[in-house]
């Protein structure tokens, strides 16, 4: 497998050595369990069945899930084993199923869905750093896209995620997601059954970047595309970048929130207590797997 699944285009033969993502060919997963802390249209009242895949195509210096994204820790799953886990999650009454940072394993995920197609909305929870070509492999398999839109400038893309092309790549990817799903559709209890919901995490000292990203969403995406404006940033992963070693201030949050309101963007706002390590799930423990 010469890998070109992500924008890094590392072309690693992952049957013999790890790619940029730090992963080989086998599907590696660090948590499969109900998760209550996503946006209301994803979690609902009973949670989403969250599958946290190991590894990542970015190198975010502040990653809250650094334990799995930077080290690749987790258990090996076959498509059959993942299919069985999805059945167990569905039987537990979750209202959607979420594949989180699954890009390195797209072929294995598609094999899984050929074995069994869950009767729930399938959510692709992603950093936004995706190629259009890989997203087109997912067309018809994914119901809801939940991408991050992290950085606007090449400088911050490089400093924060080791990806100076982040915005160029992610903006093209988000457009493709919107093309695939069309307008947002909602089912019982307001659960999203189709569409794109964009997440943006406000970073300390970078409110100008946040405002530019929100303006881009307003000017370039279909009207009504919802945004989740997140204020949950806490310094994690031993972040050493100057300025990122603190939480955002209330003034910073209000500045970005008010800009979102001025633009008339629909969506969701996080409560102040979301900036708490208690919301980071446990990974790769016996309790992490349903």
pLDDT at position 244: 95
Residues 108-128: pLDDT tens digits? 999 999 999 999 999 999 999
Beta-bridge mates of residue 76: 28
User: pLDDT digit of tens for each residue in the chain (290 aa)?
Assistant: 689 999 999 999 999 999 999 999 999 999 999 999 899 999 999 999 999 999 999 999 999 888 888 777 899 999 999 999 999 999 999 999 999 999 999 999 999 999 999 999 999 999 999 999 999 999 999 999 999 999 999 999 999 999 999 999 999 999 999 999 999 999 999 999 999 999 999 999 999 999 999 999 999 999 999 999 999 999 988 888 999 999 999 999 999 999 999 999 999 999 887 767 777 888 888 888 88
* DSSP code string of 82-117: HHHHHHHHHHTT-SEEEEES-GGGHHHHHHHHHH--
pLDDT at position 252: 97
pLDDT at position 223: 96
pLDDT at position 262: 98
Residues 60-112: pLDDT tens digits? 999 988 888 877 789 999 999 999 999 999 999 999 999 999 999 999 999 99
Taking phi over 0 as left and psi of -120 to 50 as alpha, with beta for the rest, 29 belongs to beta
Q: CA 90, CA 29: separation in Å to the nearest integer?
A: 18
185-186 and 198-201 strand pairing: unpaired
Q: Report phi then psi at 87, rounded to 5.
A: -65, -45
- Sort 276 into a burial class: Cβ within 10 Å, 0-12 / 13-18 / 19+: exposed
Q: Are 228 and 267 in contact (CB under 8 A)?
A: yes
pLDDT at position 275: 66
pLDDT at position 134: 98
**What is the reported pTM?**
0.96
Q: CA 256, CA 202: separation in Å to the nearest integer?
A: 8
């Amino acid at each position: 497998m010469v890998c070109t699944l992500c924008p890094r285009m590392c072309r690693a033969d992952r049957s013999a050595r790890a790619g940029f993502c730090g992963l080989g060919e086998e599907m590696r997963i660090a948590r499969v369990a109900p998760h209550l802390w996503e946006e209301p249209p994803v979690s609902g009242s009973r949670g989403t069945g969250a599958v946290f895949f190991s590894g990542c195509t970015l190198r975010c210096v502040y990653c809250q899930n650094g334990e799995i994204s930077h080290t690749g820790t987790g258990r090996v799953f076959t498509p059959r084993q993942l299919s069985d886990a999805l059945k167990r999650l569905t039987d537990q009454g979750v209202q959607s199923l979420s594949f989180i940072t699954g890009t390195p394993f797209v072929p294995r995920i598609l094999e899984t869905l050929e074995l069994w197609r869950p009767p729930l909305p399938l959510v692709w929870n992603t950093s936004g750093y995706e190629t259009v070509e890989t997203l087109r492999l997912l067309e018809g398999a994914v119901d809801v896209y939940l991408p991050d839109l992290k950085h606007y400038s090449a400088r911050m893309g490089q400093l924060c995620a080791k990806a100076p092309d982040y915005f160029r790549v992610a903006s093209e990817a988000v457009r493709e997601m919107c093309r695939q799903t069309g307008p947002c559709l909602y089912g019982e209890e307001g659960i999203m059954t189709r569409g794109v919901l964009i997440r943006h995490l406000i970073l300390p000292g970078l409110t100008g970047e946040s405002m530019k990203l929100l303006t881009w969403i307003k000017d370039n995406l279909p009207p009504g595309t919802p945004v989740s404006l997140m204020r949950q940033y806490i310094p994690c992963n031993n972040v050493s970048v100057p300025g990122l070693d603190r939480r955002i201030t209330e003034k910073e949050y209000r500045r970005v929130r008010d800009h979102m309101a001025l633009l008339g963007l629909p969506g969701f706002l996080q409560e102040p207590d979301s900036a708490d390590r208690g919301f980071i799930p446990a990974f790769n423990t016996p309790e992490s797997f349903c």
